[in-house]
Structure 1
Amino acid sequence: MMRFGKFLSVLPLIAMLGGCFGSGQQTAEPAAAPATAPVAAPAAEVAAPETTVPETTMPETTIPEAAAPQPAPDSNAQQQTAIASVPRKNEWGALFVAGDHSIKAFDNATRRFYSLIERKPDVVMSRLTSDPSIAPSENEIADVGTIDAALGYVTKSQQEKCLVFMTSHGTKDGFYLSQASGTGALLPPRVLDQWLDNHCGTRPTVVIVSACYSGIFLHDGMEQPNRIILTAARDDRPSFGCGAGQVYTYYDKCLLDSWTWVYTWAELYDRTKACVAEREAELGATPSEPQAYFGADVANLAMP
Protein backbone atom coordinates (compact mmCIF):
# COMPACT_ATOMS: atom_id res chain seq x y z
CA MET A 1 0.00 0.00 0.00
CA MET A 2 1.30 3.48 -0.88
CA ARG A 3 1.91 5.74 2.10
CA PHE A 4 2.79 9.44 2.16
CA GLY A 5 4.81 11.06 4.95
CA LYS A 6 6.15 14.44 5.95
CA PHE A 7 9.84 15.29 5.80
CA LEU A 8 11.79 14.27 8.92
CA SER A 9 14.43 16.55 10.37
CA VAL A 10 17.86 14.99 10.60
CA LEU A 11 19.26 14.72 14.10
CA PRO A 12 22.67 16.30 14.79
CA LEU A 13 25.46 13.99 13.67
CA ILE A 14 27.86 12.85 16.38
CA ALA A 15 31.32 12.09 14.95
CA MET A 16 32.98 8.87 16.10
CA LEU A 17 36.27 7.32 15.10
CA GLY A 18 35.72 4.92 12.25
CA GLY A 19 31.94 5.31 12.34
CA CYS A 20 30.13 5.09 8.99
CA PHE A 21 28.45 8.48 8.92
CA GLY A 22 27.32 10.48 5.89
CA SER A 23 27.18 14.05 4.64
CA GLY A 24 25.34 16.18 2.09
CA GLN A 25 22.69 18.83 1.41
CA GLN A 26 18.93 18.98 0.89
CA THR A 27 17.32 17.20 -2.00
CA ALA A 28 14.60 18.03 -4.48
CA GLU A 29 11.54 15.92 -5.18
CA PRO A 30 12.52 12.57 -6.76
CA ALA A 31 12.15 12.43 -10.52
CA ALA A 32 11.38 9.39 -12.63
CA ALA A 33 14.35 7.78 -14.34
CA PRO A 34 14.59 5.23 -17.14
CA ALA A 35 15.13 1.62 -16.22
CA THR A 36 18.74 0.63 -15.81
CA ALA A 37 20.63 -2.15 -17.48
CA PRO A 38 22.97 -4.50 -15.63
CA VAL A 39 26.42 -3.10 -15.01
CA ALA A 40 29.38 -4.78 -16.67
CA ALA A 41 31.38 -7.39 -14.79
CA PRO A 42 32.96 -5.87 -11.69
CA ALA A 43 36.58 -4.81 -11.48
CA ALA A 44 38.96 -5.72 -8.68
CA GLU A 45 38.56 -3.98 -5.37
CA VAL A 46 40.82 -1.06 -4.60
CA ALA A 47 41.79 0.53 -1.33
CA ALA A 48 40.78 4.09 -0.64
CA PRO A 49 43.50 6.78 -0.60
CA GLU A 50 45.13 7.42 2.76
CA THR A 51 43.26 10.64 3.41
CA THR A 52 40.58 11.60 5.86
CA VAL A 53 37.00 12.17 4.78
CA PRO A 54 36.20 15.90 4.92
CA GLU A 55 33.55 16.93 7.43
CA THR A 56 30.49 18.41 5.78
CA THR A 57 26.92 19.17 6.79
CA MET A 58 24.31 16.43 6.86
CA PRO A 59 21.12 17.03 4.85
CA GLU A 60 18.32 18.69 6.79
CA THR A 61 15.56 16.71 5.10
CA THR A 62 14.99 13.15 4.08
CA ILE A 63 13.87 11.91 0.71
CA PRO A 64 10.08 12.39 0.54
CA GLU A 65 7.69 9.66 -0.38
CA ALA A 66 6.43 10.04 -3.91
CA ALA A 67 4.43 8.15 -6.46
CA ALA A 68 6.37 5.21 -7.85
CA PRO A 69 5.51 2.81 -10.68
CA GLN A 70 3.02 0.15 -9.74
CA PRO A 71 4.21 -3.45 -10.09
CA ALA A 72 3.51 -5.16 -13.37
CA PRO A 73 0.30 -7.22 -13.49
CA ASP A 74 0.69 -10.79 -12.40
CA SER A 75 0.81 -12.99 -15.47
CA ASN A 76 0.49 -16.35 -13.71
CA ALA A 77 -2.98 -17.00 -15.11
CA GLN A 78 -1.77 -16.43 -18.67
CA GLN A 79 1.27 -18.63 -18.07
CA GLN A 80 -0.89 -21.51 -16.89
CA THR A 81 -2.90 -21.43 -20.12
CA ALA A 82 0.14 -21.32 -22.38
CA ILE A 83 2.91 -23.17 -20.56
CA ALA A 84 4.73 -24.13 -23.73
CA SER A 85 5.32 -20.49 -24.68
CA VAL A 86 6.41 -19.27 -21.26
CA PRO A 87 10.16 -18.55 -20.88
CA ARG A 88 11.99 -19.96 -17.90
CA LYS A 89 11.63 -17.80 -14.80
CA ASN A 90 14.63 -16.08 -13.31
CA GLU A 91 15.17 -17.11 -9.71
CA TRP A 92 16.30 -13.75 -8.31
CA GLY A 93 16.33 -10.06 -9.13
CA ALA A 94 19.24 -8.39 -7.30
CA LEU A 95 20.12 -4.71 -6.83
CA PHE A 96 23.40 -3.45 -5.33
CA VAL A 97 23.71 0.19 -4.21
CA ALA A 98 26.85 2.06 -3.09
CA GLY A 99 25.39 5.19 -1.51
CA ASP A 100 28.52 7.32 -1.12
CA HIS A 101 31.87 7.74 -2.90
CA SER A 102 33.90 9.67 -0.30
CA ILE A 103 35.75 6.37 0.24
CA LYS A 104 36.19 3.34 -2.02
CA ALA A 105 34.90 0.78 0.49
CA PHE A 106 31.26 1.02 -0.57
CA ASP A 107 31.89 0.44 -4.28
CA ASN A 108 34.36 -2.31 -3.40
CA ALA A 109 31.61 -4.14 -1.51
CA THR A 110 28.99 -3.87 -4.25
CA ARG A 111 31.52 -5.02 -6.86
CA ARG A 112 32.45 -8.10 -4.87
CA PHE A 113 28.86 -8.98 -3.96
CA TYR A 114 27.84 -8.54 -7.60
CA SER A 115 30.62 -10.91 -8.67
CA LEU A 116 29.46 -13.55 -6.18
CA ILE A 117 25.86 -13.44 -7.38
CA GLU A 118 26.55 -13.23 -11.12
CA ARG A 119 27.98 -16.74 -10.98
CA LYS A 120 24.53 -18.03 -10.13
CA PRO A 121 22.13 -19.05 -12.93
CA ASP A 122 18.83 -17.28 -13.56
CA VAL A 123 19.62 -13.99 -11.79
CA VAL A 124 18.90 -10.49 -13.15
CA MET A 125 21.13 -7.83 -11.57
CA SER A 126 21.92 -4.13 -11.52
CA ARG A 127 24.62 -2.22 -9.64
CA LEU A 128 24.51 1.50 -8.85
CA THR A 129 27.43 3.68 -7.77
CA SER A 130 27.64 7.16 -6.28
CA ASP A 131 30.87 7.88 -8.13
CA PRO A 132 30.10 9.66 -11.43
CA SER A 133 33.67 9.02 -12.63
CA ILE A 134 33.10 5.26 -12.85
CA ALA A 135 29.37 5.08 -13.67
CA PRO A 136 28.78 3.83 -17.24
CA SER A 137 25.87 6.27 -17.55
CA GLU A 138 23.68 8.55 -15.45
CA ASN A 139 21.28 5.63 -15.06
CA GLU A 140 23.88 3.82 -12.93
CA ILE A 141 24.35 6.69 -10.46
CA ALA A 142 22.56 6.01 -7.15
CA ASP A 143 19.84 8.67 -7.01
CA VAL A 144 16.19 8.54 -5.98
CA GLY A 145 14.80 7.92 -9.45
CA THR A 146 17.53 5.54 -10.57
CA ILE A 147 17.20 3.30 -7.50
CA ASP A 148 13.44 3.13 -7.98
CA ALA A 149 13.84 2.36 -11.67
CA ALA A 150 16.64 -0.16 -11.12
CA LEU A 151 14.59 -2.02 -8.53
CA GLY A 152 11.75 -2.14 -11.02
CA TYR A 153 14.10 -3.49 -13.68
CA VAL A 154 15.54 -6.35 -11.61
CA THR A 155 12.21 -7.36 -10.06
CA LYS A 156 9.99 -7.72 -13.09
CA SER A 157 7.14 -10.17 -12.80
CA GLN A 158 9.22 -13.07 -14.13
CA GLN A 159 11.62 -12.81 -11.16
CA GLU A 160 10.48 -14.90 -8.21
CA LYS A 161 12.60 -13.37 -5.42
CA CYS A 162 14.08 -9.95 -4.60
CA LEU A 163 17.51 -9.12 -3.15
CA VAL A 164 18.63 -5.58 -2.25
CA PHE A 165 22.09 -4.79 -0.84
CA MET A 166 22.84 -1.18 0.18
CA THR A 167 26.06 0.11 1.75
CA SER A 168 26.93 3.68 2.74
CA HIS A 169 27.06 6.09 5.66
CA GLY A 170 23.91 6.45 7.75
CA THR A 171 22.19 8.39 10.53
CA LYS A 172 19.26 7.72 12.83
CA ASP A 173 16.99 9.06 10.07
CA GLY A 174 18.15 7.17 7.02
CA PHE A 175 20.65 5.73 4.54
CA TYR A 176 22.90 8.36 2.97
CA LEU A 177 22.88 8.92 -0.82
CA SER A 178 25.59 11.42 -1.73
CA GLN A 179 24.27 11.94 -5.28
CA ALA A 180 20.55 12.22 -4.50
CA SER A 181 19.34 15.09 -6.69
CA GLY A 182 22.97 16.15 -6.99
CA THR A 183 23.29 17.38 -3.41
CA GLY A 184 22.82 14.38 -1.11
CA ALA A 185 19.97 13.19 1.10
CA LEU A 186 18.83 10.47 3.46
CA LEU A 187 16.72 7.54 2.28
CA PRO A 188 14.34 6.69 5.17
CA PRO A 189 12.87 3.21 5.81
CA ARG A 190 9.34 4.23 4.79
CA VAL A 191 10.49 5.14 1.25
CA LEU A 192 12.39 1.87 0.80
CA ASP A 193 9.33 0.04 2.12
CA GLN A 194 7.21 1.81 -0.50
CA TRP A 195 9.56 0.79 -3.31
CA LEU A 196 9.62 -2.81 -2.11
CA ASP A 197 5.83 -2.91 -1.95
CA ASN A 198 5.60 -1.53 -5.50
CA HIS A 199 8.21 -3.74 -7.13
CA CYS A 200 8.53 -6.92 -5.03
CA GLY A 201 5.04 -7.09 -3.60
CA THR A 202 4.54 -10.25 -1.55
CA ARG A 203 7.34 -12.21 -3.21
CA PRO A 204 10.23 -13.43 -1.02
CA THR A 205 12.49 -10.41 -0.42
CA VAL A 206 15.88 -10.03 1.25
CA VAL A 207 17.17 -6.57 2.21
CA ILE A 208 20.70 -6.00 3.54
CA VAL A 209 21.49 -2.48 4.79
CA SER A 210 25.07 -1.74 5.79
CA ALA A 211 25.40 1.65 7.50
CA CYS A 212 25.51 3.30 10.90
CA TYR A 213 22.15 3.06 12.73
CA SER A 214 20.85 0.77 9.98
CA GLY A 215 18.67 -1.02 12.52
CA ILE A 216 16.12 1.71 11.73
CA PHE A 217 15.33 -0.38 8.64
CA LEU A 218 13.59 -2.88 10.91
CA HIS A 219 10.89 -0.25 11.57
CA ASP A 220 8.36 1.90 9.70
CA GLY A 221 6.60 -0.96 7.94
CA MET A 222 9.71 -2.80 6.81
CA GLU A 223 8.95 -5.92 8.85
CA GLN A 224 6.73 -7.95 6.51
CA PRO A 225 6.14 -11.73 6.58
CA ASN A 226 7.75 -12.12 3.12
CA ARG A 227 10.96 -10.28 4.04
CA ILE A 228 14.34 -11.05 5.56
CA ILE A 229 16.20 -7.94 6.74
CA LEU A 230 19.86 -7.86 7.81
CA THR A 231 21.43 -4.66 9.13
CA ALA A 232 24.98 -3.71 10.12
CA ALA A 233 24.00 -2.13 13.45
CA ARG A 234 21.29 -1.41 15.97
CA ASP A 235 19.11 1.63 15.38
CA ASP A 236 21.07 3.52 18.05
CA ARG A 237 24.62 2.34 17.26
CA PRO A 238 27.22 3.24 14.62
CA SER A 239 29.04 0.61 12.57
CA PHE A 240 32.77 0.70 11.84
CA GLY A 241 35.38 0.41 9.14
CA CYS A 242 34.79 3.60 7.15
CA GLY A 243 38.36 4.85 7.44
CA ALA A 244 40.04 6.18 4.30
CA GLY A 245 42.40 3.20 4.09
CA GLN A 246 39.75 0.47 4.49
CA VAL A 247 38.99 -1.80 1.54
CA TYR A 248 35.64 -2.79 3.11
CA THR A 249 33.66 -1.75 6.16
CA TYR A 250 33.79 -4.27 9.01
CA TYR A 251 30.27 -5.50 8.34
CA ASP A 252 30.68 -5.77 4.57
CA LYS A 253 33.92 -7.74 4.82
CA CYS A 254 32.45 -10.14 7.38
CA LEU A 255 29.30 -10.62 5.31
CA LEU A 256 31.16 -11.24 2.05
CA ASP A 257 33.77 -13.50 3.64
CA SER A 258 30.99 -15.56 5.24
CA TRP A 259 28.91 -15.87 2.07
CA THR A 260 30.56 -18.94 0.55
CA TRP A 261 30.68 -20.80 3.87
CA VAL A 262 26.99 -20.85 4.76
CA TYR A 263 23.78 -22.31 3.37
CA THR A 264 21.03 -20.25 4.99
CA TRP A 265 20.34 -16.58 5.66
CA ALA A 266 20.23 -17.32 9.38
CA GLU A 267 23.71 -18.84 9.22
CA LEU A 268 24.94 -15.83 7.24
CA TYR A 269 23.60 -13.50 9.92
CA ASP A 270 25.10 -15.50 12.80
CA ARG A 271 28.53 -15.85 11.21
CA THR A 272 28.64 -12.19 10.13
CA LYS A 273 27.58 -10.94 13.57
CA ALA A 274 30.27 -13.02 15.29
CA CYS A 275 32.92 -11.77 12.88
CA VAL A 276 31.93 -8.13 13.40
CA ALA A 277 31.96 -8.54 17.19
CA GLU A 278 35.48 -9.97 17.06
CA ARG A 279 36.82 -7.12 14.93
CA GLU A 280 35.13 -4.45 17.06
CA ALA A 281 36.56 -6.02 20.22
CA GLU A 282 40.03 -5.64 18.75
CA LEU A 283 39.25 -1.98 18.08
CA GLY A 284 37.88 -1.50 21.58
CA ALA A 285 34.69 0.01 20.14
CA THR A 286 31.15 -0.11 21.50
CA PRO A 287 29.58 -3.10 19.73
CA SER A 288 27.42 -2.19 16.74
CA GLU A 289 25.30 -5.33 17.25
CA PRO A 290 24.08 -6.23 13.73
CA GLN A 291 20.37 -6.97 13.63
CA ALA A 292 18.10 -9.33 11.69
CA TYR A 293 14.43 -9.96 11.02
CA PHE A 294 13.09 -13.18 9.49
CA GLY A 295 9.51 -13.02 8.25
CA ALA A 296 7.32 -16.04 8.94
CA ASP A 297 6.80 -16.78 5.23
CA VAL A 298 10.51 -16.86 4.39
CA ALA A 299 12.15 -18.26 7.49
CA ASN A 300 13.62 -21.12 5.45
CA LEU A 301 14.26 -19.20 2.23
CA ALA A 302 17.21 -20.61 0.29
CA MET A 303 20.14 -18.36 -0.61
CA PRO A 304 20.98 -17.72 -4.27
Structure 2
Amino acid sequence: METLLFAQSYMFADELRKVQPSTPGTPHLYAIGFAGDGDESVFRNEVEFLQKLLAARFDATDRILELVNSPQTYTTIPLATRTNLQNALGGLTERMDRDNDILFLFLTSHGSEDPELLVKLGDLPLDQLAPADIRDALDAARIRWRVIVISACYSGGFIPALREPHTLIITAARADRASFGCGSDSQLTWFGKAFLVDALNHTTDFHAAYLEAQHTIAQWEKRDHETPSEPQFWEGPLIAAKLAAWRATLPADAPLVPFAPPPTATRNRATP
Protein backbone atom coordinates (compact mmCIF):
# COMPACT_ATOMS: atom_id res chain seq x y z
CA MET A 1 0.00 0.00 0.00
CA GLU A 2 2.71 2.48 1.01
CA THR A 3 4.77 1.65 -2.08
CA LEU A 4 1.79 2.22 -4.36
CA LEU A 5 1.01 5.62 -2.86
CA PHE A 6 4.68 6.60 -2.91
CA ALA A 7 4.91 5.72 -6.62
CA GLN A 8 2.12 8.10 -7.59
CA SER A 9 4.32 11.17 -8.01
CA TYR A 10 6.68 9.32 -10.37
CA MET A 11 3.85 7.74 -12.34
CA PHE A 12 2.09 11.08 -12.65
CA ALA A 13 5.27 12.85 -13.77
CA ASP A 14 5.69 10.27 -16.55
CA GLU A 15 2.14 10.89 -17.78
CA LEU A 16 2.50 14.65 -17.62
CA ARG A 17 5.64 14.56 -19.77
CA LYS A 18 3.53 13.11 -22.60
CA VAL A 19 1.11 16.07 -22.63
CA GLN A 20 1.63 18.41 -25.58
CA PRO A 21 2.10 22.13 -24.90
CA SER A 22 -0.41 24.65 -26.17
CA THR A 23 -0.06 26.33 -29.57
CA PRO A 24 -0.12 30.13 -29.23
CA GLY A 25 -3.22 31.72 -30.72
CA THR A 26 -5.18 28.48 -31.14
CA PRO A 27 -7.58 27.26 -28.42
CA HIS A 28 -7.14 23.62 -27.47
CA LEU A 29 -9.11 21.20 -25.32
CA TYR A 30 -7.20 19.63 -22.43
CA ALA A 31 -8.90 16.88 -20.49
CA ILE A 32 -8.79 14.93 -17.25
CA GLY A 33 -10.76 11.70 -16.83
CA PHE A 34 -11.35 10.59 -13.23
CA ALA A 35 -12.70 7.06 -12.55
CA GLY A 36 -13.32 6.97 -8.82
CA ASP A 37 -14.55 3.50 -7.84
CA GLY A 38 -12.13 0.65 -8.45
CA ASP A 39 -14.63 -2.09 -7.63
CA GLU A 40 -16.48 -1.75 -10.95
CA SER A 41 -14.88 -1.59 -14.41
CA VAL A 42 -17.72 0.55 -15.79
CA PHE A 43 -16.03 3.75 -14.59
CA ARG A 44 -12.64 2.81 -16.03
CA ASN A 45 -14.35 1.93 -19.32
CA GLU A 46 -15.80 5.42 -19.56
CA VAL A 47 -12.50 7.18 -18.94
CA GLU A 48 -10.70 4.94 -21.43
CA PHE A 49 -13.37 5.63 -24.04
CA LEU A 50 -13.22 9.35 -23.30
CA GLN A 51 -9.51 9.36 -24.13
CA LYS A 52 -10.14 7.75 -27.52
CA LEU A 53 -13.13 9.98 -28.27
CA LEU A 54 -11.42 13.27 -27.48
CA ALA A 55 -8.28 12.31 -29.36
CA ALA A 56 -10.15 11.33 -32.52
CA ARG A 57 -12.96 13.90 -32.63
CA PHE A 58 -11.85 16.86 -30.51
CA ASP A 59 -8.22 17.34 -31.56
CA ALA A 60 -7.02 16.44 -28.07
CA THR A 61 -4.37 13.82 -28.85
CA ASP A 62 -1.70 13.91 -26.12
CA ARG A 63 -3.68 16.48 -24.17
CA ILE A 64 -5.50 14.05 -21.87
CA LEU A 65 -4.65 12.79 -18.39
CA GLU A 66 -6.32 9.67 -17.00
CA LEU A 67 -6.77 9.07 -13.27
CA VAL A 68 -8.20 5.61 -12.71
CA ASN A 69 -8.86 3.36 -9.73
CA SER A 70 -8.76 -0.19 -11.02
CA PRO A 71 -7.03 -3.45 -10.07
CA GLN A 72 -6.13 -3.77 -13.77
CA THR A 73 -4.31 -0.43 -14.13
CA TYR A 74 -2.97 0.71 -10.76
CA THR A 75 0.64 -0.05 -11.75
CA THR A 76 0.45 1.87 -15.05
CA ILE A 77 -2.09 4.71 -14.64
CA PRO A 78 -2.13 7.21 -11.75
CA LEU A 79 -4.86 6.65 -9.20
CA ALA A 80 -8.03 8.73 -9.09
CA THR A 81 -7.44 10.52 -5.79
CA ARG A 82 -8.04 14.01 -4.49
CA THR A 83 -4.30 14.69 -4.45
CA ASN A 84 -3.76 13.38 -7.98
CA LEU A 85 -6.65 15.51 -9.24
CA GLN A 86 -5.04 18.57 -7.70
CA ASN A 87 -1.69 17.61 -9.24
CA ALA A 88 -3.26 16.90 -12.63
CA LEU A 89 -4.90 20.31 -12.75
CA GLY A 90 -1.71 21.99 -11.61
CA GLY A 91 0.35 19.98 -14.08
CA LEU A 92 -1.87 20.89 -17.01
CA THR A 93 -1.34 24.57 -16.29
CA GLU A 94 2.32 24.01 -17.19
CA ARG A 95 1.25 22.83 -20.66
CA MET A 96 -1.91 24.78 -21.48
CA ASP A 97 -2.70 28.45 -21.94
CA ARG A 98 -4.88 29.04 -18.89
CA ASP A 99 -6.59 32.05 -20.46
CA ASN A 100 -7.22 30.59 -23.93
CA ASP A 101 -7.41 26.79 -23.74
CA ILE A 102 -10.40 24.85 -22.38
CA LEU A 103 -10.40 22.22 -19.63
CA PHE A 104 -12.73 19.21 -19.99
CA LEU A 105 -13.03 17.53 -16.59
CA PHE A 106 -14.93 14.22 -16.60
CA LEU A 107 -15.61 12.53 -13.28
CA THR A 108 -17.37 9.17 -13.06
CA SER A 109 -18.10 7.08 -9.96
CA HIS A 110 -20.82 6.30 -7.47
CA GLY A 111 -22.34 9.39 -5.90
CA SER A 112 -24.10 10.09 -2.61
CA GLU A 113 -26.68 12.68 -1.58
CA ASP A 114 -24.13 14.53 0.58
CA PRO A 115 -23.00 15.04 -2.24
CA GLU A 116 -19.71 13.17 -2.62
CA LEU A 117 -18.07 11.01 -5.26
CA LEU A 118 -16.85 7.61 -4.12
CA VAL A 119 -13.07 7.27 -4.32
CA LYS A 120 -12.09 3.66 -3.66
CA LEU A 121 -9.45 1.08 -4.53
CA GLY A 122 -9.35 -1.96 -2.29
CA ASP A 123 -8.37 -1.03 1.26
CA LEU A 124 -6.37 2.08 0.39
CA PRO A 125 -7.20 4.98 2.75
CA LEU A 126 -8.48 7.41 0.10
CA ASP A 127 -10.40 10.64 0.75
CA GLN A 128 -13.80 11.04 -0.87
CA LEU A 129 -14.38 13.87 -3.35
CA ALA A 130 -16.75 16.69 -2.38
CA PRO A 131 -17.82 19.67 -4.52
CA ALA A 132 -15.59 22.05 -2.55
CA ASP A 133 -12.56 19.82 -3.24
CA ILE A 134 -13.11 20.12 -6.98
CA ARG A 135 -13.78 23.86 -6.89
CA ASP A 136 -10.73 24.53 -4.71
CA ALA A 137 -8.49 22.51 -7.05
CA LEU A 138 -9.84 24.31 -10.12
CA ASP A 139 -9.43 27.73 -8.56
CA ALA A 140 -5.90 26.92 -7.39
CA ALA A 141 -4.99 25.93 -10.96
CA ARG A 142 -6.45 29.23 -12.25
CA ILE A 143 -7.84 27.63 -15.42
CA ARG A 144 -10.41 30.04 -16.81
CA TRP A 145 -12.52 27.99 -19.25
CA ARG A 146 -14.05 24.86 -17.71
CA VAL A 147 -16.35 22.13 -18.98
CA ILE A 148 -17.23 19.79 -16.11
CA VAL A 149 -19.14 16.55 -16.68
CA ILE A 150 -20.07 14.36 -13.71
CA SER A 151 -21.50 10.88 -14.23
CA ALA A 152 -22.84 9.77 -10.84
CA CYS A 153 -25.98 9.46 -8.80
CA TYR A 154 -27.07 12.76 -7.22
CA SER A 155 -24.42 14.60 -9.24
CA GLY A 156 -26.64 17.65 -9.69
CA GLY A 157 -25.70 18.49 -6.12
CA PHE A 158 -22.24 19.48 -7.35
CA ILE A 159 -23.52 22.33 -9.52
CA PRO A 160 -23.92 25.09 -6.89
CA ALA A 161 -20.28 24.84 -5.79
CA LEU A 162 -18.85 24.63 -9.31
CA ARG A 163 -20.80 27.22 -11.28
CA GLU A 164 -19.10 30.45 -12.32
CA PRO A 165 -19.25 32.63 -15.47
CA HIS A 166 -16.61 30.72 -17.48
CA THR A 167 -17.94 27.22 -16.70
CA LEU A 168 -20.31 24.71 -18.31
CA ILE A 169 -21.56 21.85 -16.13
CA ILE A 170 -23.38 18.66 -17.14
CA THR A 171 -24.44 16.02 -14.63
CA ALA A 172 -26.01 12.59 -15.02
CA ALA A 173 -28.77 13.28 -12.49
CA ARG A 174 -30.34 16.02 -10.46
CA ALA A 175 -29.34 16.49 -6.82
CA ASP A 176 -31.98 14.16 -5.40
CA ARG A 177 -32.08 11.45 -8.07
CA ALA A 178 -30.08 8.32 -8.85
CA SER A 179 -28.68 7.59 -12.29
CA PHE A 180 -28.45 4.11 -13.78
CA GLY A 181 -26.17 1.57 -15.39
CA CYS A 182 -23.37 0.91 -12.92
CA GLY A 183 -22.72 -2.60 -11.66
CA SER A 184 -20.16 -5.35 -12.05
CA ASP A 185 -21.90 -6.76 -15.14
CA SER A 186 -22.27 -3.41 -16.91
CA GLN A 187 -20.02 -1.98 -19.60
CA LEU A 188 -21.03 1.69 -19.33
CA THR A 189 -23.44 3.73 -17.27
CA TRP A 190 -26.56 4.85 -19.10
CA PHE A 191 -25.29 8.41 -19.05
CA GLY A 192 -21.85 7.35 -20.29
CA LYS A 193 -23.35 5.52 -23.24
CA ALA A 194 -25.91 8.21 -24.09
CA PHE A 195 -23.58 11.19 -23.72
CA LEU A 196 -20.10 9.92 -24.60
CA VAL A 197 -20.69 7.07 -27.04
CA ASP A 198 -23.88 8.19 -28.76
CA ALA A 199 -24.22 11.98 -28.53
CA LEU A 200 -20.58 13.10 -28.74
CA ASN A 201 -20.11 10.86 -31.77
CA HIS A 202 -22.73 12.99 -33.52
CA THR A 203 -21.82 16.51 -32.40
CA THR A 204 -18.99 18.55 -30.89
CA ASP A 205 -21.51 20.89 -29.25
CA PHE A 206 -21.74 19.94 -25.57
CA HIS A 207 -25.19 21.47 -25.13
CA ALA A 208 -26.56 19.60 -28.16
CA ALA A 209 -24.96 16.39 -26.84
CA TYR A 210 -26.58 16.94 -23.46
CA LEU A 211 -30.02 17.40 -25.03
CA GLU A 212 -29.61 14.22 -27.09
CA ALA A 213 -28.42 12.23 -24.07
CA GLN A 214 -31.22 13.61 -21.91
CA HIS A 215 -33.81 12.46 -24.45
CA THR A 216 -32.20 9.02 -24.88
CA ILE A 217 -31.95 8.37 -21.14
CA ALA A 218 -35.56 9.42 -20.60
CA GLN A 219 -36.63 6.81 -23.16
CA TRP A 220 -34.60 4.07 -21.47
CA GLU A 221 -35.97 5.01 -18.04
CA LYS A 222 -39.54 4.99 -19.31
CA ARG A 223 -38.99 1.60 -20.93
CA ASP A 224 -37.65 0.11 -17.70
CA HIS A 225 -40.05 1.93 -15.35
CA GLU A 226 -37.25 3.75 -13.53
CA THR A 227 -37.64 7.03 -11.64
CA PRO A 228 -36.29 9.69 -14.05
CA SER A 229 -32.73 10.74 -13.25
CA GLU A 230 -33.19 14.11 -14.96
CA PRO A 231 -29.65 14.99 -16.13
CA GLN A 232 -28.76 18.62 -15.46
CA PHE A 233 -27.15 21.38 -17.53
CA TRP A 234 -25.77 24.71 -16.34
CA GLU A 235 -23.88 27.21 -18.48
CA GLY A 236 -22.13 30.37 -17.32
CA PRO A 237 -22.85 33.50 -19.36
CA LEU A 238 -19.34 33.78 -20.84
CA ILE A 239 -18.46 30.27 -22.00
CA ALA A 240 -20.88 29.70 -24.90
CA ALA A 241 -19.07 32.10 -27.24
CA LYS A 242 -15.70 30.63 -26.25
CA LEU A 243 -16.85 27.09 -27.03
CA ALA A 244 -18.31 28.18 -30.37
CA ALA A 245 -14.98 29.74 -31.37
CA TRP A 246 -13.13 26.58 -30.34
CA ARG A 247 -15.52 24.29 -32.25
CA ALA A 248 -14.81 26.29 -35.40
CA THR A 249 -11.19 25.07 -35.25
CA LEU A 250 -12.10 21.36 -35.14
CA PRO A 251 -11.85 19.16 -38.24
CA ALA A 252 -15.16 18.74 -40.06
CA ASP A 253 -14.53 15.09 -41.01
CA ALA A 254 -13.68 13.61 -37.60
CA PRO A 255 -14.27 9.83 -37.51
CA LEU A 256 -16.84 8.05 -35.39
CA VAL A 257 -15.35 6.28 -32.39
CA PRO A 258 -17.08 2.97 -31.56
CA PHE A 259 -17.12 1.65 -28.03
CA ALA A 260 -15.26 -1.66 -27.91
CA PRO A 261 -16.26 -3.48 -24.72
CA PRO A 262 -13.57 -5.34 -22.80
CA PRO A 263 -13.57 -9.04 -23.67
CA THR A 264 -14.56 -10.06 -20.13
CA ALA A 265 -17.57 -7.73 -19.86
CA THR A 266 -21.11 -9.06 -20.18
CA ARG A 267 -23.93 -7.19 -21.81
CA ASN A 268 -27.16 -6.78 -19.87
CA ARG A 269 -29.96 -4.28 -19.56
CA ALA A 270 -27.71 -1.96 -17.57
CA THR A 271 -26.09 -0.87 -20.83
CA PRO A 272 -28.96 -0.31 -23.29
TM score, norm. by length of structure 2: 0.75
Which structure carries more relative contact order (alpha carbon 8 Å, separation 6+)?
1
Q: 1:99 aligns with which of 29, 36, 45?
A: 36
Output the CA distance in 2 between the equivalents of 1:283 and 1:246. Answer: 16
Residues in 2 aligned to 1:87 and 1:230: alpha-carbon distance in whole angstroms: 25
Q: Does 1:178 align with 2:115?
A: no
Displacement of 1:216: 1.0
- Structure 1's 87 and 126: CA in aligned 2 closer, same or farther, altered over 3 A? closer
Q: 1:115 is matched with which residue?
A: 52
Among the aligned pairs, what percent are the same residue?
28
The amino acid of 2:72's aligned partner reads S
Q: Match for residue 216 of structure 1?
A: 157
- How far apart are residue 157 of structure 1 and its match? 5.7
Q: Which one-letter code corresponds to 1:244 in the other structure?
A: S
**Does the 8 Å CA contact 2:177/2:229 hold for their aligned counterparts?**
yes
- Whether the 8 Å contact between 1:98 and 1:129 is mirrored in structure 2 is yes
Matches within 5 A, 1:101-180: 101-119=38-56, 120-121=58-59, 124-137=63-76, 140-156=78-94, 158-159=96-97, 160-173=101-114, 174-179=116-121
CA distance in structure 2 between the aligned counterparts of 1:180 and 1:164, rounded to whole angstroms: 24
Q: What is the deviation of 1:146?
A: 1.2
Give the Å deviation of 1:179: 3.7
- Counterpart CA distance in 2 for 1:117 and 1:37 is 21
| Cα gap change, 1:152 to 1:217, in 2 (>3 Å) | same
Comparing 125-134 and 151-160, the one that deviates more: 151-160
SS of 1:233's equivalent in the other structure is coil
Once the two structures are TM-superposed, the CA of residue 37 in structure 1 deviates from its matched residue by 4.1
Is the 1:92–1:163 Cα contact (8 Å) retained in structure 2? yes
Larger radius of gyration: 1
Summarize the Cα distance change of 1:129–1:122 in structure 2 as closer, same or farther, 3 Å threshold: closer
Structure 2 residue runs of 5 or longer lacking an equivalent are 251-272
CA change 1:180–1:195 in 2 (3 A) is farther
CA distance in 1, matches of 2:52, 2:233: 24
How far does residue 200 in structure 1 lie from its aligned partner after superposition? 4.0
Task: Name which of structure 1's ranges 179-188 and 230-239 shifts more when overlaid on structure 2.
Answer: 179-188
Distance 1:162 1:252 in 2: 19
Residue identity opposite 1:232 in structure 2: A
Deviation of 1:132 after TM superposition, in Å, equals 4.0
1:188 maps to 2:130: yes
Deviations 1:111-165 (A, max 9, x none): 111101122435511101111431344x611112111111222343633111100
Change beyond 3 A, Cα 1:181–1:294: farther
Runs of 4+ off more than 4 Å: none
Identify the match of residue 228 of structure 2 among 271, 278, 287. 287
Q: How many pairs does the alignment contain?
A: 226
Q: 1:51 aligns to what?
A: none
2:23 alignment counterpart: 88
> How far has the Cα of 1:184 moved from its partner?
4.1
Structure 2 match to 1:226? 166
2:201 to 243, 260, 263: 260
Higher mean C-alpha displacement, 148-157 vs 164-173? 148-157
The Cα shift of 1:282 comes to 1.5
Is the 2:22–2:95 contact (alpha carbons within 8 Å) kept by the matching residues of 1? no
Aligned pairs (5 A) from 1:66-77: none
Map of 1:198 onto structure 2: 140
